Homo-oligomer: A and B are copies of this chain.
Amino acid sequence: MAFLPHLESVVTQVDGAIACSVMGFDGIAVETFQAPQSADLAQQIELNSAWVEYGNALSQLKTGADLLKAGTIAEVSINTEKLVTLMRMVTPEYFVVLALKPEGNYGKGRYVLRITAPKLKAELT
């Protein structure tokens, strides 16, 4: 279960990345890589509290949307003026979450999560 190199790779590839984490739907982070230069910002916006709240919403959404004809949820993004958050399903129990500054590279973030999710899944199984 070597998650950290994958998470570090996400953060270093995406401009404006604050931190990337593998989380369970119980709200507990399995592993996190934080951009060293963004530690103050993460503390200031209470990143962990936001992630627990968002993960909880994602969990409810996943359950509620399972029966929709539009298909199962693959990716959710929640954005405020201070924080952009991208989440992508890894397995039914785990997801990967990436926090960006609002001016960060959103498109690159989506792309990198999409290619990283299968690698994280391989580590989980």
The chain A residues found within 8 Å of chain B, CB to CB, are: 44-47, 49-50, 53-54, 56-57, 60-61, 64-65, 68-83, 106-107, 110
Q: Is the CB of B76 within 8 A of A80?
A: no
Number of copies: 2
Q: Judging by beta carbons under 8 Å apart, are B61 and A46 in contact?
A: no
Q: A75–B64 Cα gap in the complex (Å)?
A: 20
Q: Nearest Cβ in chain B — how far from A86, in angstroms?
A: 9
Q: What's the minimum C-beta distance from A54 to chain B, rounded to whole angstroms?
A: 8
- Per the bound structure, the CA–CA distance linking A71 and B106 in Å amounts to 18
Q: Are A76 and B78 touching (Cβ within 8 A)?
A: yes
Known contacts A70-B45, A107-B107; decide if A50 and B79 are in contact (CB<8 Å). no
Is there contact, CB below 8 Å, between A79 and B74?
yes
CB pair B70–A50 under 8 Å, yes or no, is yes
Which chain B residue has the least Cβ–Cβ distance from A61?
Answer: B57
Given known contacts A77-B77, A107-B107, is B72 in contact with A64 (CB within 8 Å)?
A: no
Is A68 a contact of B50 with CB atoms below 8 Å? yes
Can you spell out 22 A-B residue pairs with CB atoms less than 8 angstroms apart?
A: A45-B69, A45-B70, A49-B68, A49-B69, A50-B65, A53-B61, A53-B68, A54-B61, A54-B65, A57-B57, A57-B60, A57-B61, A57-B65, A65-B78, A65-B80, A70-B82, A70-B83, A71-B81, A74-B81, A76-B76, A76-B79, A77-B77
